[in-house]
Amino acid sequence: MIWLMGLSGAGKSTISNLFEEQLNESGFFSMKLDGDEMRKGLNYNLGFSMDDRAENIRRAAETAKIIASNGVIVICSFITPLNGHRTIAKKILGDMYFEVFIDCPLDICEQRDVKGLYEQAHNNTLKNFTGISSAFERPTTPDLILHTDNFTAEQCCDQLYNAVKNKIADNA
């Protein structure tokens, strides 16, 4: 159970896609869960208040737990903005939880602005936007930090693959 967290535009989905490909090529079956997808269906009734984000994370973690208990590696990508939200996921997933901070400075996420959401947040047409008008706490005890501003997505994916392999070896 790999939990990728970080600001919008930090690179969570890019790394998740690459990592899934790498796992599949290595013979592991994996599945992705991400905030945008979950919010289209299962979590369509949730917004971006801190309580709704907490419920979003709770449902995502419970879903991931069911999938992972069937022997599938689950890669979750959610902003997960507060330490309290991370605690919710960790409590549900226990030892399976491997927390990865996709660390990218806010100004670089703003420059990338892949979805145009930072612009909307600055124009005030999008409320409660993480990093602009809604809080993001740096995680204090991630299992791994990936610096997507200093390394390519492929390099970050390799770092993640090696860290996960080490964790599996440690637990064996």
Report the interface residues with ligand ADX, using CB under 6 A: 8, 35-36, 39, 48, 53, 56-57, 78-81, 115, 117, 126, 128-130, 134
Shortest Cβ 73–ligand ADX spacing (Å)? 19
For residues 53 and 156, which CB has a smaller minimum distance to ligand ADX in the complex?
53
Q: For residues 115 and 138, which CB has a smaller minimum distance to ligand ADX in the complex?
A: 115
| CB of residue 159 to ligand ADX, shortest distance in Å | 22
Nearer to ligand ADX, 37 or 158 (CB): 37
Q: How is 69-101 classified by DSSP, letter by letter?
A: TTT-EEEEE----SHHHHHHHHHHHGGG-EEEE
Q: How far is the CB of 141 from ligand ADX (least distance, A)?
A: 18
Q: CA–CA distance from 111 to each of 10, 101, 165 (Å)?
A: 11, 20, 33
Pairing state of beta strands 98-103 and 144-147? parallel
- What's the CA gap between 43 and 129, in Å, rounded? 18
> Closest CB to ligand ADX among 117 and 157?
117
**Residue 20 β-bridge partners:** none
Instruction: Give least dist CB 27 to ligand ADX, A.
Output: 29
* Closest distance to ligand ADX from the beta carbon of 169 (Å): 30
Closer CB to ligand ADX, 115 or 165, in the complex: 115
